[in-house]
Amino acid sequence: MNRRAQLSLLLLAGASGAVDALAFTALGTVFAGVMTGNLVLLGVAVGHGPGGTEGVSAPLYALGGYIAGAALTALVCRGVAPRPDWPGRVVACLVGQTVLLAGVAVAGGVLDGRPGAPWRTVLLVVAALAMGGQSAAMVAAGSGAAPTTYFTGTLTTLVTGVADGSGRGPGQLWVAARLLAVVGGAACAVAVHEAAPSWGFAAPAALSAAALGCQKPAHRLRRAVTTIHKNPLQGTHDETH
């Protein structure tokens, strides 16, 4: 994996941590990207019986947004051939994610960083939509990328690799850095939200935009569009050369 991809993954991991921290602290005590946590929260709400039905809605909204984002991205990236440099359609999906997060940031600012009940749901769904798109885009990028919204497997691989000696090397430093980036992104987002609520939702969009910038988006998108235009019946192979 090249350094540009590693830097993008680092920044996307920070964005993911920031989004989930804000979702949990300001949008309903749920997650926008960690669906395992939402499934557990859903189970907890159901387990409480009729008195806990109110807690079912937020995890369901987040799950719905995430699934929609992942499905839409999978359709856009269908047939893309993985390569060391992220394909143009993967980059296009990250552009879409950044736009969604920018929309959340603007709305959060207009609402002074403390959205009321209806807006909390809207912002949660949009944030989850962005995270679903990010996750699916990384899957489409194949070996040129890595998970940026779920890290249990990443942590397990890092620990077992260090313990048995099979995973030592520069690559593992990047893996550890991504884990730290999640913590740093979450801490940064919450600190900003506490100090200046109207700017609190800006961190995820800024980190996502920085990750996108590492991928030279204008060049990638222009190449993808040009290739599809020249070969409209072979659009699924637009990233193979």
pLDDT-based confidence at residue 71 (cuts at 50, 70, 90): very high
Percent of the chain with pLDDT over 70: 85
* 28 contacts 124 by C-beta, under 8 angstroms: yes
pLDDT of residue 81: 78
- What is the chain's mean pLDDT, rounded? 86
pLDDT of residue 48: 81
Is 66 a residue whose pLDDT tops 90? yes
Overall average pLDDT of the 200-210 stretch:
96
* Helix ranges (DSSP H) in the chain: 3-26, 35-47, 57-76, 88-110, 117-141, 152-164, 170-195, 202-213, 217-230
pLDDT of residue 168: 66
pLDDT of residue 169: 65
pLDDT-based confidence at residue 87 (cuts at 50, 70, 90): confident
Is 146 a residue whose pLDDT tops 70? yes
pLDDT of residue 183: 96
pLDDT of residue 207: 97
Q: What torsion, rounded to 10 degrees, do the Cα atoms 124, 126, 131, 132 define?
A: 110
Overall average pLDDT of the 184-190 stretch:
97
Distance CA 22, CA 237 (A): 38
Q: Please tell me which of 12-26, 33-47, 222-236 the model is most confident about, judged by mean pLDDT.
A: 12-26
* 164 contacts 188 by C-beta, under 8 angstroms: no
Taken in order 16, 19, 25, 31, the sign of the CA dihedral is negative
Residue 165 makes CB contacts below 8 A (sequence gap 6+) with none
* 122 contacts 129 by C-beta, under 8 angstroms: no
Overall average pLDDT of the 86-113 stretch:
94
Q: At what angle do helices 170-195 and 202-213 cross, to 10 degrees?
A: 150
* Cβ neighbour number for residue 159 with a 10 Å cutoff: 11
Is 227 a residue whose pLDDT tops 70? no
For tokens 């990233």, name the residue.
239
Distance CA 117, CA 99 (A): 23
Distance CA 148, CA 1 (A): 15
pLDDT of residue 170: 67
Q: Which one has a higher pLDDT value, 19 or 144?
A: 19
Overall average pLDDT of the 53-63 stretch:
85
pLDDT-based confidence at residue 218 (cuts at 50, 70, 90): low
